[in-house]
Amino acid sequence: MNLQTFIAAAELESFSLAAEQLYLTQPAVSKRVASLEGELGAALFDRIGRRVSLTEAGRAFLPRARDILREIEDSRRLISNLSGHVGGRLRIGTSHHIGLHRLPPVLRRFTARYPEVALDLQFMDSEAACRAVQSGDLELGIVTLPLEPLADLHSERIWPDPLDIVVGREHPLAGRRRLGFAQLAEHPAILPAPGTYTRELLERSVADIGETLRAGMTTNYLETIKMMVSVGLGWSVLPRSMLDEELVALKVRGMHLTRELGIVRHRARTLSNAAQAMMGTLRSLKRSLKA
């Protein structure tokens, strides 16, 4: 499709890379772009050596091309859904933590019941997964839910995820099961990266008790935080489900942290039968946990 080829070339700024991504030859990519330019009556790319860049017309057309392609894909899903068949490719984004600690029973049940679905499971930060669902690159995100509603996204909670302030067993505060945040802040912190929903939740909780969260070492990966805390490099916040004999949970006055894990989908997008089946599987496991 000419639109898909144009979008790939625009995002990669290369006809050769677009050809690799689309499993085409470079002349085929050039021909498709030229055909689209002929239809629109305007040059979409400046071609300088091996590098291509969007013209003013190309920059103006790119968001419209993405919208048109999403509408075509949405129409295909709508028509395909009429058969009731559950199959095809299902593109999902999820975090490493959810993939390791929450999804295995979900995927086991789903793949057993719907063997004709080809799962395209992409691991990324929850924030990136939400953006990919907003842009139409992913059909579903199974993520840490944003603290505030995001434009165009519908969120549905599946798992509550209580968090604890934790230290290693050899940490000076390990014997202090209840303390104030000021006492905790005297020690180095290992924090979720700025911009993550978990960091935002921690910052809000600290602000609510009139304190300020000081900068410390940061990482996006909770498993890395757990390792660093367990060897005594500092305190942090981790899901209660990750606690083991290497960690001690502290009671910090005024702080009660819980995040929510669940599904995000685009409000205006027609979900494929496969995506609806995945949501049904998640909901059924949610009900079984409550029973």
Integer angstrom CA distances of residue 88 from 82, 103, 274, 275: 14, 20, 7, 10
Residue type, 112: A
Integer angstrom CA distances of residue 64 from 27, 32, 58, 60, 215: 25, 17, 10, 8, 41
Distance CA 234, CA 229 (A): 5
Tell me, yes or no, if the two domains 88-159+260-290 and 161-259 fold the same way: yes
Integer angstrom CA distances of residue 94 from 180, 189, 214, 263: 35, 26, 29, 9
CATH number for the domain formed by residue range(s) 161-259: 3.40.190.10
Neighbours of 187 (CB within 10 A): 13
- Token pair in block for residue 113: 């019941």
- Block means of pLDDT (10 residues each) for the chain, 291 residues, are 84 86 86 89 84 89 85 75 79 93 94 94 94 91 93 93 94 86 92 91 92 84 93 94 93 93 91 92 79 48
In this prediction, residue 217 carries a pLDDT of 87
**With left for phi above 0 and alpha for psi between -120 and 50, is residue 28 left, alpha or beta?**
alpha
- Domain 88-159+260-290 CATH superfamily: Periplasmic binding protein-like II (3.40.190.10)
Read out DSSP for 122-148? EE--HHHHHHHHHHTS-SEEEEEPPSS
For the chain, the domains span 2-67, 88-159+260-290, 161-259
- β-bridge pairing 88-94 and 140-144: parallel
Q: How much is the pTM?
A: 0.75
Give burial (CB, 10 Å; 0-12/13-18/19+) of 197: buried
- Token pair in block for residue 59: 């920059």
Numbers of helices and strands, H then E, in the chain: 11, 12
In this prediction, residue 288 carries a pLDDT of 66
Q: Are 185 and 255 in contact (CB under 8 A)?
A: no
In this prediction, residue 197 carries a pLDDT of 92
Enumerate the β-bridge partners of residue 154.
265
Distance CA 102, CA 98 (A): 5
In this prediction, residue 290 carries a pLDDT of 61
Domain 2-67: state its class. Answer: mainly alpha
